[in-house]
Structure 1
Amino acid sequence: MKKLLSCFVVSLGIASAANAQGTQWHVIKERIVTRWATQVDPKAPLPEYPRPLLVRSNNWINLNGLWSYAITPKSQAEPTNYEGNILVPFAVESALSGVGRNVGKDSLLWYRNTISIPSSMKNKDILLHFGAVDWQTEVFVNGKSAGKHEGGYDPFSINITSYLKKGAKQDITVRVWDPTDDGPQPAGKQVVKPEGIWYTPVTGIWQTVWLEAVGKSYIRSTKNTPDIDKHTISVAADVENLQEGDNLKIEVLDGITVVAQQQVGARETAVITVNNEKLWSPSAPFLYDLKVTLVRNNRPVDEIKSYFAMRKISMAPDANGIQRMLLNNKFLFQYGPLDQGWWPDGLYTPPTYEAMVYDIDQLKKMGFNMIRKHIKVEPATYYAYCDKVGMLLWQDMPSGDRGNGWENRPGILDHGTDKNRTPESEGYYRKEWNAIIDALYNYPSIVVWIPFNEAWGQFKTTEITEWTMKKDPSRLVNSASGGNFYPTGHIIDLHNYPHPAMPRPDVFGQKQVLVLGEFGGLGLPLEGHTWQKNKNWGYQSFKTSEEMFKKYEAFTERIAQLIPLGLSAAVYTQTTDVEGEVNGFMTYDRQVDKMPVDKLHEANVKLYDPALVK
């Protein structure tokens, strides 16, 4: 499945307050915005099919658009009057929401919409899907509670069939509470009082909301695991309302040609041989299409389309006994930026699909083959695009419970100090990390999981790392990027600003892959393109692009010297400026590349020279 589908267009009824004020939505331009802000259509924002790894191309409705909203005291019941419009799926604090207001731990954010369910969905089960809502959510359908969810970064669905009333019109109400950094939940870089490396809160719906009509029995998810050494792809499915005797028919396609197929019991895992397989890599990101059909009494009950890649991420010692990170059993130096995925107009949410892929395309043009997705989870369409164009991804777990610091440094083998998190905080972390891995498991571009960043909330490091390795043995685990070092996981990760450095090969290299998880951070504020007028900063500031590139080029030359010593990967801070940070390759509004893209490409691709490792 290589193309994203446009939304199935139907007429949506909007709650009365939204109808009354439908013409009043506008982008709040108190700060800089991207050029894509003007392309946002309030009638159909982010219309793309939101689940590219499990596609049913008909009988779905995108519910993004204008909803009514209200902010009330936490103790108050549902408001009788709503305050105006909010553009879903943009967080209430964002410019693109049309609201631009903070909520806080003592208040609730309410959404309301009246939707129309078309006749084509009659006699089907109706699923209400949310890509992500930050943080604690309760959904009401026609005044009755239909479901709850806690988690700001994982998708969730509610079967609302039993709550629907006769007729097409249905009332949907969503209640959200989000304490940001005043609560026990993972919150990433959000804080109530933004400054420095901490940013604006993101409250409420921030990914696509949509309806889907399915049968009583349907495929909820699949789990696809390639094994290039055995030339197989393993496929298992989670089926709702599974019946005895149900089977799965699985077809592997190269374009329109079926290259392999198998039918197994619906509770079984199919292990399918893929002869003469085409391997996926940054230089050749080939994707096989996948069709999975639920079969009952020799008749199809449900069918989904997906895709997968034949690729392997692993580690092995080089000729000097230093562990190296391998892609498809060969060493490939992985190099890319720290990428926080923030937008001046949408905060967590890109204004358009085109804006989102622009960042990835620019990084490819700059010569990078990897992105470290920093303490944030992206919409599914982001990962699908990285799969399509061949961009490796390291995925962080969004942090929470910041407070403990570093207790040791590279070269010292003694343990750091784990944070003593509350049972509530620990429970939220475990639940959401598990849900994130489940949601992202099938994306071949993801090659590394990072449970902790810089000791921020780092707890029970060995246990969490080994749990992650056991849950997904198909990827590498970087236990604590730049955090307190423990002899666990596949990777030891140093952060060093601004100059490149690496963990000591003689101490760590025999057992763990050596990476530079953050460095650089060269700053260049450009007037007219900054989030704020002052207090802008980088780890080392420059006045001209020429001076900045000269220093950057020297950094890449130093990295080229570290690769033969055992360095397997490096992460430069960062893709774009973010609020007060002005250390991006691009300005926060994506209007200016701070260094010439062709020169960056020339400097970066030298690091992939196989001759650097004998």
Structure 2
Amino acid sequence: GIWEFAMRPKSRESRPEKFDDHILVPFCVESALSGVKKKVVETDMLWYRRTFDVPRQWAGQRLLLHFGAVDWETTVWVNGRKVGDHRGGYDPFSFDITDMLKASGSQEIVLSVWDPTDKGRQARGKQQIIPEGFMYTPASGIWQTVWIEPVPSSHIRSIHVEPNIDENCVWVTVDAANTNDGYTIQARTLLPGPGEKAGTISVVAESRAGQRLRISLRKEPKTRLWSPDSPFLYDLDVTLKDQAGKTIDTVESYFGMRKISIGKDERGINRIMFNNKQLFQYGLLDQGWWPDGLYTAPTDEALRYDIETAKRLGFNMVRKHVKFEPQRFYSWCDKLGVIVWQDMPSGGGNSDERKRQFELELRRMIDASRNHPSIVMWVAFNEGWGQFDAPRIARWIKNYDPTRLTNHASGWADRGDFGDVRDIHLYPGPGVGPALPNRAMVLGEFGAHGMAVKGNSWGDDSRWSKYGPEETDRLTNAYLRTIRALRPMIYMGLSGAVYTQITDIENELNGLMTYDRELLKMDARQITAVNLTLYDPPPVVKTVLTTSQQTPQIWRYTNTKPGKELKKWQNRKMS
């Protein structure tokens, strides 16, 4: 909705006497949809103000003020009293504002937000105050939904769902506030019968509040596993009851029965296993930018459209690149059957404070989205961008969430045998490294065939545009050649690949679609057909003569210009 807005020098820390502008939340200050569209620099402070009335039916309840995401450092006041602070541009946070409310009348919310973007060391992804190349316009301030939720004094704060397909059960952990001895948690799901699309057979588990619940599914009807081909979701109702058995609070959710792991194929090569079976994961680099909303999709339909387009073109995965999206994005991936490799937004600097903040935001990101079956991999660092202590971070992630794969560095800055995958980047590629004893091999970025389309491009940077606007056939053929070269690499040990990228972004013109999503640059029928071949059994590749890519080779060299005598040559292993 519309909030009052003001931008003042950061040096003036007191709230403005007058809010002289308005802004449409949840769009960032720099975006056209915000109605402001102003540049924000590190010396600016953003101020927001909004009033609201408490509905009568909320009387006697606690009121929680929720923020989906605000970039970057936020302070909140309600009716002139400070509620709290938050640092982090991507993770959701909330405050209990009940005790700050007046007995009646209009209530006031005021926010101050400071965002240094690339002048700071915080996690910020690809935001840059002066955008250029593959760094884009920043997204300062509120950029996700803000809402107020009434809850009883004793209420469910969060639930954590952990499916186990090998034991045919799902574990449910509930965090509840203000519960006493005798309070119980009930978790209920519905199993679909044969031929049914929705569940009708009730399965219930119940225990004391604070205990982990196990919902055991039945052998019959057979459990439906979540996969890109069949993204079945089970409904889940979680209820909090008091000592008398009275229902105090209820949360409706869902879960998918899905397993992701690393296993050996019949030739002893490590593969990514999906529900205990080999499944090649082929996706698009998805950076989540829009020309009008920047970091925020203009509508929920727009958010869904990108996911549906990827699925329609034969991709079964997206790599969400150095950005953490609103929960609606992952919910659509759950429902539509699109796998997600999730990056942690990158930052910079090596101070202890910056490292602690990065790890705090990483944990919050996992906590906020770990119930989504679509997310199968956490990517700690993109290449060497802000990378630190990568082996330790990889071990921490795996211990914190053992149900997903860990990728400590996507591309180039690999630190050794840590995590579950070895991730390489190769442009235009494709390429594959040697099979490894403990990790699967993936190609985290490749492709990036670019074409500018006049009238549908933000800019015209020739670095990203090899093909002209009338060369759709040439661009399509380049893509087809690339994917045909990719397919034999699956036999050689490749478990997944990510093509760059789903859309153009500002001056970067290597997307399958234009930045405004109005035009698909390639022939949809042809690229869909070639994409689908990646899920067929790969062709057998027989090595006639090994190269240094697979096996180190012996070369001979000398430190002086060789003559007829060859005795001076020495042997050296090259790889």
Partner of 1:527: 454
Q: Secondary structure at the match of 2:504?
A: coil
Is 1:361 matched up with 2:308?
yes
Written as runs of structure 1 = structure 2, the 5 A alignment for 1:434-583 is 434-485=363-414, 486-505=416-435, 509-532=436-459, 534-538=460-464, 540-543=466-469, 544-583=471-510
Q: Distance in 2 between matches of 1:429 and 1:442?
A: 22
* TM superposition shift of 1:469: 0.5
Q: Distance in 1 between matches of 2:202 and 2:537?
A: 33
**What CA deviation, in whole Å up to 9, does each residue of 1:520-552 have, x standing for no partner?**
0010000011112x3253274455110011010
Q: Distance in 1 between matches of 2:525 and 2:248?
A: 52
CA contact (8 A) 1:365 1:598 kept: no
Q: Distance in 2 between matches of 1:142 and 1:258?
A: 49
Aligned-pair Cα RMSD in Å: 1.3
Q: Distance in 2 between matches of 1:325 and 1:294?
A: 38
CA contact (8 A) 2:261 2:276 kept: yes
- Comparing both chains, which one has the higher relative contact order based on Cα–Cα distances under 8 Å and sequence gaps of 6 or more? 1
Which amino acid is the alignment partner of residue 102 of structure 1? K
CA contact (8 A) 2:473 2:523 kept: no
**What CA deviation, in whole Å up to 9, does each residue of 1:292-337 have, x standing for no partner?**
0001121111101000000100111112221000100000100010
CA contact (8 A) 1:537 1:580 kept: no
Written as runs of structure 1 = structure 2, the 5 A alignment for 1:129-168 is 129-168=66-105
Q: Secondary structure at the match of 2:310?
A: helix
Which amino acid is the alignment partner of residue 272 of structure 2? M
Q: Secondary structure at the match of 1:351?
A: coil
- Name the TM-score, length of structure 1 as normaliser: 0.85
| Percent sequence identity over aligned pairs | 46
Q: Secondary structure at the match of 1:386?
A: helix
Which amino acid is the alignment partner of residue 528 of structure 2? H
**What CA deviation, in whole Å up to 9, does each residue of 1:399-418 have, x standing for no partner?**
0007xxxxxxxxxxxxxxxx
Is 1:296 matched up with 2:242?
yes
CA contact (8 A) 2:45 2:113 kept: yes
CA contact (8 A) 1:136 1:178 kept: yes
Q: Distance in 2 between matches of 1:332 and 1:518?
A: 19
* TM superposition shift of 1:69: 0.5
Partner of 2:529: 602
Partner of 1:408: none
Which amino acid is the alignment partner of residue 4 of structure 2? S
Identify the match of residue 226 of structure 2 among 280, 284, 287.
280
Written as runs of structure 1 = structure 2, the 5 A alignment for 1:101-250 is 101-250=38-187
Gaps of 5+ in 2: 192-197, 542-575
Written as runs of structure 1 = structure 2, the 5 A alignment for 1:53-132 is 65-76=1-12, 77-132=14-69
Q: Distance in 1 between matches of 2:156 and 2:440?
A: 38
* TM superposition shift of 1:102: 1.6
CA contact (8 A) 1:520 1:539 kept: no
Partner of 1:406: none
* TM superposition shift of 1:484: 1.5
Q: Distance in 1 between matches of 2:490 and 2:147?
A: 47
Q: Distance in 2 between matches of 1:433 and 1:394?
A: 14
- Name the TM-score, length of structure 2 as normaliser: 0.90
Size of the aligned set, in residue pairs, is 528
**What CA deviation, in whole Å up to 9, does each residue of 1:40-91 have, x standing for no partner?**
xxxxxxxxxxxxxxxxxxxxxxxxx110100011121100111211000000
> Structure 1 residues 455 and 540, CA, compared in 2 at 3 Å: closer, same or farther?
farther
* TM superposition shift of 1:376: 0.4
Superposition misfits of 4+ residues, deviation over 3 angstroms:
539-543, 610-614
**What CA deviation, in whole Å up to 9, does each residue of 1:394-447 have, x standing for no partner?**
000000007xxxxxxxxxxxxxxxxxx101110110110000000010000000
Is 1:384 matched up with 2:316?
no
Q: Distance in 1 between matches of 2:48 and 2:433?
A: 49
* TM superposition shift of 1:103: 1.9
Which amino acid is the alignment partner of residue 147 of structure 2? W
Q: Secondary structure at the match of 2:464?
A: coil
Q: Distance in 2 between matches of 1:342 and 1:259?
A: 42
Q: Distance in 2 between matches of 1:296 and 1:483?
A: 55
Gaps of 5+ in 1: 1-64, 403-420
Partner of 2:348: 401
Q: Distance in 1 between matches of 2:272 and 2:387?
A: 24
